[in-house]
Amino acid sequence: MEFLNNFVLPQSAEHLELLHYMLLIVLFLFIPFISMVFGGIFLSVFYKRKAKKNHDTNYLRLAKDIIDITTISKSVGVILGIVPVLTCVLIYSQLLHNSEVTNLNYLVFALVLISISLFLIYSYRYSLTFNKIFSSFEKSTSSSHDLVDDVTKLRDESNRVSKRAGIYGLIFLFFGIWFFITGITIPSLINSWESESFIGGLFCWTVVSRFIYYILFAVAISGGMVIFSFLQDEKNKKNIDEKYSGFIKKEITKVIFISVFMIPFFALVNLFGLPESSLTSTVFVYAISSLVLLFIGYHFLYLLTKEMQGTTAALLFFILILSVAANIVGEQKAMETSTKVHSAVISASFEKYLAELKGEGKTVEINAAEMYQVKCSSCHKWDEKLVGPAHKDVIPKYAGKEAQLVAFIRNPSKIDAAFPQMPNPGLKPNEAQAIAKYLLETYNQKIK
Ligand code: HEC
């Protein structure tokens, strides 16, 4: 991502810290939302297939309800699904400015994959709605034959869309999240920065276990959301199909159970997969809090199997979100630790940059020989006259008079009638100083 490196400036230490906080906020918005969408499309496609296999319309209805609940709306999809990834790319390009880390490539891939997947998933969602409308239309026999034919055609079309869009959306999102997780994990693995190839990064085991952790979490959280919104509907007497809601509760609690019980294992693998250098006590505290919250979540899940209540489901949902939030903070703290050295490099180059802007000589090392090449060598040579006189003819008179030489270089005056006037090279005081010194040193060496 050369071009990102080019338009990013080095930042002060305070600014870098601010960026870490911004990153946290962005992840807090993005991870729960994209998890819900992923869990939603996964469960929806799964139940849709099951509906076809078992010829059970309950499953079909469940598939549609799940995707309706978990994807919220298209504009939310853009705001919470695409904008945060873009922001992540920008934040990371600042945080890891000029480093060897390749995580931006993964994030850009993630951006593309997730955008495509969201497009497909929303098409899937609408096609399921159309399917429902068409099939209810077909059932009403009062319509004329032509119309029924048209509707059947449309229904088939929409069926095809939902079949493909669903499965492709799921696949694209799967890889999108995988790339995203790789992109945010790699900076914490400072040791493997240079050694991993692009594909190697994806399969590095810390990345894989983190990815599985988030996928399990995604399924659990979307299950929680679905149960919660069903119980809510039930309370408002919107959905009083007893048989169907009993069916949902059974199916979804099963799914939450399976996923939630595997989470701690991967959470621990994630923790111990971090390099020792980034395992600070803060990281530990957050990881443990995340687990404790998860255990409280078990408690609510257990209550839910005893008695289905809206508040319990809501609590379960929020506890799960808190648990993953604590986990995100822990991971980010680990990343902060492992990039500490790099942050110091960036803020040092920021100081240097600032000093350069102010033209302060002390803190800036100027490579005089190099600058001479760029600014002077087109007109001057040591022992040959070009546009200007040969240095060997003019420098001796400045021996021991560095200040005069500096003054001339900064502001050339007309000297020798045989030459045109030297144009002002536009150097800062410290630069003129360095070049003058360099010329006099060269002169001293030549006469030795
Ligand atoms: C565009 C051509 C050009 C460039 C670029 C240029 N010079 Fe010159 N320089 C001249 C000319 C022409 C003269 C003769 C001026 C005169 O005698 O009035 C001169 C004269 C000098 C002299 C002799 C002054 C004297 O007292 O006789 C020095 C020393 C010198 N230049 C240093 C530099 C340095 C250092 C740079 C780079 C920062 C530089 N020049 C860049 C054209 C150039």
Condensed to tens digits (0 to 9), the pLDDT of residues 99-156 reads: 777 788 899 999 999 999 999 999 999 988 888 887 777 666 566 677 777 878 888 8
Residue 371 pLDDT more than 50? yes
At residue 380, the 3 state secondary structure works out as: strand
In the prediction, which pLDDT does 180 show?
Answer: 95
Q: Which residue has the higher pLDDT, 264 or 9?
A: 264
Is the distance from the beta carbon of residue 143 to the nearest atom of ligand 1 less than 6 Å?
no
- The count of other CB atoms within 10 Å of the CB of residue 232 is 14
pLDDT in tens, 140-187: 656 667 777 787 888 888 888 888 899 999 999 999 999 999 999 888
Cα 97–Cα 103–Cα 104 angle in degrees, nearest 5: 65
Is the distance from the beta carbon of residue 409 to the nearest atom of ligand 1 less than 6 Å?
yes
Q: How large is the greatest C-alpha to C-alpha distance in the chain, in angstroms?
A: 112
Is the distance from the beta carbon of residue 381 to the nearest atom of ligand 1 less than 6 Å?
no
The ligand 1 atom nearest the CA atom of 397: 26
Q: Which of 177-191, 323-337, 363-377 has the lowest mean pLDDT?
A: 363-377
Residue 353 pLDDT more than 80? no
Tokens linked to 45: 């496609």
| Cα(357) to centroid(ligand 1), Å | 26
Is the distance from the beta carbon of residue 413 to the nearest atom of ligand 1 less than 6 Å?
no
| Cα(437) to centroid(ligand 1), Å | 15
Q: What's the rounded Cα separation, in Å, for the pair 266 and 278?
A: 18
Q: Whose CA is nearest to atom 25 of ligand 1?
A: 394
Q: Which residue has the higher pLDDT, 16 or 295?
A: 295
- Round the average pLDDT of the chain to a whole number and report it: 85
Is the distance from the beta carbon of residue 9 to the nearest atom of ligand 1 less than 6 Å?
no
Contact of 162 with 127, CB cutoff 8 Å: yes
Is the distance from the beta carbon of residue 388 to the nearest atom of ligand 1 less than 6 Å?
yes
Residue listed under structure tokens 């630069």? 431
Q: Whose CA is nearest to atom 39 of ligand 1?
A: 376
Mean per-residue pLDDT, 398-412: 85
Is the distance from the beta carbon of residue 435 to the nearest atom of ligand 1 less than 6 Å?
yes
Q: Which of 404, 408, 422 to mutate to test the pocket of ligand 1 (most atoms within 8 A of CB)?
A: 422
| Cα(388) to centroid(ligand 1), Å | 5
Is the distance from the beta carbon of residue 292 to the nearest atom of ligand 1 less than 6 Å?
no
Residue listed under structure tokens 């648990």? 323
Is the distance from the beta carbon of residue 396 to the nearest atom of ligand 1 less than 6 Å?
no
- The count of other CB atoms within 10 Å of the CB of residue 260 is 23
In the prediction, which pLDDT does 195 show?
Answer: 55
Is the distance from the beta carbon of residue 423 to the nearest atom of ligand 1 less than 6 Å?
yes
pLDDT in tens, 253-263: 899 999 999 99
Q: Which of 139-143, 272-276, 287-291, 374-378 has the lowest mean pLDDT?
A: 139-143
Mean per-residue pLDDT, 175-202: 80
Share above pLDDT 70 across residues of the chain, in percent, rounded to a whole number: 92
Q: Which amino acid is at 220?
A: A
Residue 362 pLDDT more than 80? no
Is the distance from the beta carbon of residue 369 to the nearest atom of ligand 1 less than 6 Å?
no
Mean per-residue pLDDT, 76-101: 87
In the prediction, which pLDDT does 239 show?
Answer: 57
| Cα(241) to centroid(ligand 1), Å | 93
Is the distance from the beta carbon of residue 425 to the nearest atom of ligand 1 less than 6 Å?
yes
Contact of 47 with 63, CB cutoff 8 Å: yes
Tokens linked to 140: 């009403």
Residue listed under structure tokens 């408690």? 299
In the prediction, which pLDDT does 220 show?
Answer: 93
DSSP 414: -
CATH superfamily of the 367-447 domain: Cytochrome c-like domain (1.10.760.10)
Share above pLDDT 90 across residues of the chain, in percent, rounded to a whole number: 31
Mean per-residue pLDDT, 410-438: 85
**If you count DSSP H runs as helices and E runs as strands, how many of each does the chain have, helices first?**
17, 0
Is the distance from the beta carbon of residue 51 to the nearest atom of ligand 1 less than 6 Å?
no
In the prediction, which pLDDT does 363 show?
Answer: 45
Q: Whose CA is nearest to atom 24 of ligand 1?
A: 394
pLDDT in tens, 216-241: 999 999 999 888 888 888 777 765 67
Which residues, in sequence order, are CB contacts of 381 under 8 Å at separation 6+? Answer: 390, 391
| Cα(406) to centroid(ligand 1), Å | 12
Q: Where along the chain do the CATH 1.10.760.10 domains lie?
A: 367-447
**Residue 378: phi, psi to the nearest 5?**
-70, -25
Residue 1 pLDDT more than 60? no
- The count of other CB atoms within 10 Å of the CB of residue 280 is 15
Q: What's the rounded Cα separation, in Å, for the pair 312 and 317?
A: 9
In the prediction, which pLDDT does 141 show?
Answer: 57
The ligand 1 atom nearest the CA atom of 423: 1
Is the distance from the beta carbon of residue 295 to the nearest atom of ligand 1 less than 6 Å?
no
Is the distance from the beta carbon of residue 39 to the nearest atom of ligand 1 less than 6 Å?
no
In the prediction, which pLDDT does 42 show?
Answer: 94
Terminal C-alpha separation, the chain: 50
